[in-house]
Amino acid sequence: MNGDNGYEGLAAVKRFVALDNNKRDLKNMLAEVQTDLNAAHDAVLAYFESHAQEGLSQIKIMSRTVSLRRDLRASAKNVETLAEYKDTAFLVKSTVNANTLGAWVREQDAGPDGMPVLPEAVRNAINVTEQFSVRVTKT
């Protein structure tokens, strides 16, 4: 035992087990917090949606800023049409890269509803959806 009587090694083993138990407890607690956060996220999103007419997009509360983040997502509906259109042909390989397609869609001019206006040639070949999520930043 390298010159010790085993007590120091045994203490290290006990410490290791205690830390492992603590880690397991924290993981369980984190899972519970995440479940609660997911439920609260939906409620906060609904709150922002119910106050959208008033222009509410952020709230400062408890030294944090809670705000909405809008993400536009795009997916190909008709790859052949995308391959034929000159401005989107570069997106099409043997598959369409969803991240690149989404970036291209976000670069298009927005219409009065805030959604991108796609060229007529590919309008029916791309699905565009909005996804909102709640963000919290320290103020």
pTM for the full predicted model:
0.51
Note the pLDDT tens digit of each residue in 64-110: 999 988 888 888 888 889 888 889 888 887 778 889 999 999 999 99
pLDDT at 130 over 60: yes
In which residue are the tokens 């536009």 written? 72
Spatial contact of 135 and 68, defined as CB atoms under 8 Å apart: yes
d(CA 123, CA 82): 9
Q: 55: alpha, beta or left, given left = phi > 0 and alpha = psi -120 to 50?
A: left
d(CA 32, CA 130): 28
In which residue are the tokens 């989107």 written? 88
- For residue 79, the SS3 value is helix
Q: What is the DSSP letter of 110?
A: B
Label residue 52 by pLDDT band (50, 70, 90).
confident
Q: What is the DSSP letter of 121?
A: T
